Amino acid sequence: MKFFVDTADVDAIRELAELGMADGVTTNPSLILKSGRDILEVTREICGIVEGPVSAEVVATAAPKMIEEGRKLAQIAPNIAVKVPLTWDGLKACKTLTGEGHMVNVTLCFSAAQAILAAKAGATFVSPFVGRLDDINLDGMDLIADIRAIYDNYGFETQILAASIRSVNHVTEAAKIGADVVTAPPGVLKQMAAHPLTDKGLATFLADWEKTGQKIL
């Protein structure tokens, strides 16, 4: 399973990349806003930190302009994946941009039907938003499972990029289902290391070690 980091915070990306925990990065207009940085500048910096795909999202809504924006974003670095929304125009832009050899991440996917269209349009990645489906009392993980089953039925090569990941359980459930990639905020990826029994066990070991009076160094 690949881990993408869902942020435009370069310090957080660098820390995870040094540990081999950042196979790629996803950004979106909200994350660019949160970073307070210029999209071209921060995306270029991120592309220099990770070798894998860095998703940069277009903001036009009509296909011709999306394609122009996508071409401009793709010029930033060879590892850019142009992110387009899962609309009819977004699918047109996906088809053109993948035809030109660019990676394309089709985002804001909320149904299996939409995911089929993304695969047919040649998307490199499709991004089903798990957390936002949970927010409206649907089960986001059911969507990941449906897309996995459909893509496997037909050998679609589009990678399932589980997005809007909010918890450690989201990551492990997506892994069990077989999502190709999970993109999660740095805090969720770091939280995966935490377990209360690890903390409790470590406290006991350290207390016992203290009693031995020994030192390793």
Evaluate whether 162 touches 143 at the Cβ level (below 8 Å).
no
Helix (H) or strand (E) holding 151: helix 140-154
Q: In the numeric block, which tokens belong to residue 8?
A: 């435009």
CA distances from 64 to 74, 101, 194 (A): 15, 17, 46
Nearer to ligand G3P, 96 or 133 (CB): 133
Q: CA 102, CA 80: separation in Å to the nearest integer?
A: 8
109 binding ligand G3P? (CB under 6 A): no
132 binding ligand G3P? (CB under 6 A): yes
CA distances from 58 to 46, 158, 181 (A): 17, 20, 21
124 binding ligand G3P? (CB under 6 A): no
Q: Tell the smallest beta-carbon distance from residue 210 to ligand G3P (Å).
A: 43
CA distances from 34 to 12, 47, 121, 153, 191 (A): 13, 18, 31, 39, 21
Stretch that binds ligand G3P, among 8-16, 42-50, 86-94, 125-133 (CB under 6 A): 125-133
CA distances from 165 to 7, 73, 87, 168 (A): 12, 25, 22, 8
105 binding ligand G3P? (CB under 6 A): no
Chain positions 151 to 180 lying near ligand G3P, rule: CB under 6 A, are 163-164, 166
Q: How many residues bind ligand G3P (CB under 6 A)?
A: 10
Please identify which residue in 5, 6, 70, 74 interacts with ligand G3P, judged by CB under 6 A: 6
**Does 83 participate in catalysis according to the annotation?**
yes
Nearer to ligand G3P, 44 or 166 (CB): 166
CA 175, 2, 133, 112 torsion-angle sign: negative
Q: Tell the smallest beta-carbon distance from residue 188 to ligand G3P (Å).
A: 10
Contact flags string 20-49 toward ligand G3P, x per CB under 6 A: ------x-x---------------------
Question: Which residues are at the interface with ligand G3P (CB under 6 A)?
Answer: 6, 26, 28, 129, 131-132, 163-164, 166, 183
Active site residues: 83
